[in-house]
Structure 1
Amino acid sequence: MIKNEKIKASEVQVTGLHGEDLGLMSTKEALKLAKELKVDLVCTSLMTSPPPCKLIGAGAAKQEALAEKRKDRAPKTKEIRLTPQIEEHDYDTKRTQMERILKTGDIVKLVVKIQGKQGEAAKKLLEDFIRDLKPLGKPSTGIQLSGKQAVVELHP
């Protein structure tokens, strides 16, 4: 991302803070305008002449770059291990952790370890997590109960 004084072109096509077209102007004028508004002048493409530039708030430029990086990479699968007898505070902590993972675009794999006759408790726990995380992610398959564990994957 090229911004502010690093833009070497003599003229730039400027877009305002709210998407309005400010037209063609010299880079010096555009930088002066950016300083007056206390924002950054960011070059969006070097492939055209004059290069298109945007006026973007200082923190927004970094956020936009991070969002672009996230889109480019493949989602990772993060595994969260639990037991059926989980206390309320631990439940809330795990739920918050899963929300953060889903917001970054990664997949959450919930694994509940089962001992003895805990199958129903494990299934109920996974159903509770699925219900609480419904706005952020949906299960790719149903709850899979095997001998020693219950598993479900949530996709963002």
Structure 2
Amino acid sequence: MKFVGRRGHWWVPPCAAFFCLLGSTIFWRWHTISKDHQINEEIRAREVRLVGAEGEQIGIVSFREAMQMAVDANLDLVNVAPTAKPPVCRIMDYGKFRYEQQKKEKENRKNQKVVELKEVRFSATIDEHDYQTKLRNVVKFINDQDKVKCSIRFRGREIMHASVGQKVLERVAAEVQDIAVQERRPKLEGRSMIMILAPNKTT
């Protein structure tokens, strides 16, 4: 079925179209269930509090009157506050509104920082140069707003002197205390000791 609607030529299967009569205005519309808002004929209220296309407060009018105003403006009637008594509806270009909304959501997701858990491995017998290199990595990750898992793997009889490894991790925590907090203090798990640092929220 092909016909002319208020926004051009539409093809509508007979089962998906319905007939809508507003005063003397007769037109066909594609019936869709909006995910976020009730629009046009999806609105079931007898009367609505209407906001115009420019944001002006028109007041309480019948649904038919509000729908006719939207049709005359070649725009949509959108229920923006369905729980209000009566519901608040606004005349707008819903397609443009959804496009702008999705664009804004996409930008927000792009700007969101995903916190990752980075791992820096130390050793109980680490030398000073290697320690400083790994410490710089910890600082870099924390400054990037990531959490850091500092770990020490004990080999052979080193496990008998786990306190030596604990002192290494405690030194790391002390040296980054201005930018990080210990989310998890050094704890022995099997042959590994693990400490987790998180960015300090005040930095």
TM-score band w.r.t. shorter chain: 0.5 to 0.7
Match of 1:133 among 170, 176, 184: 176
Is 1:104 matched up with 2:147?
no
Equivalent residue, structure 1, for 2:197: 154
Runs of 4+ off more than 6 Å: none
Q: How many residues align?
A: 90
Per-residue displacement from partner, 1:58-102 (whole Å, max 9, x unpaired)?
A: xxxxxxxxxx98961220000111210001111111111110110
The answer to whether the Cα contact below 8 Å between 1:76 and 1:106 also exists between their aligned partners in 2 is: yes
Residue pair 2:142, 2:148 contacting (<8 A) in 1 also: yes
Q: How does 1:1-156 map to 2 (within 5 A)?
A: 72-115=112-155, 116=157, 117-156=160-199
Give the conservation status (yes or no) of the 8 Å contact 2:120–2:137.
no
RMSD: 2.0
Aligned partner of 1:147: which letter?
G
Q: Give CA deviations for 1:113-148 in whole Å, capped at 9, x if unaligned.
A: 113223011111000000001011111122111220
Hey, what's the Cα distance between the residues in 1 that align with 2:123 and 2:161?
Answer: 9
The alignment's TM-score, normalised by the length of structure 2, stands at 0.41
SS at the partner of 2:185?
coil
Judge conservation of contact 2:149–2:195 (CA < 8 Å) in 1: yes
Q: Aligned partners of 2:141 and 2:164: how far apart in 1? A: 24
Structure 2: state its 5+ residue gaps. Answer: 1-107
Larger Rg computed on CA atoms: 2
TM-score (norm 1): 0.53
Equivalent-residue separation in structure 1 for 2:178 and 2:145 (angstroms):
13
* Contact 1:70-1:104 within 8 A present in 2 as well: no
Q: Which has the higher strand share?
A: 2
139 and 71 in structure 1: CA distance in 2 versus 1, 3 angstrom threshold: farther
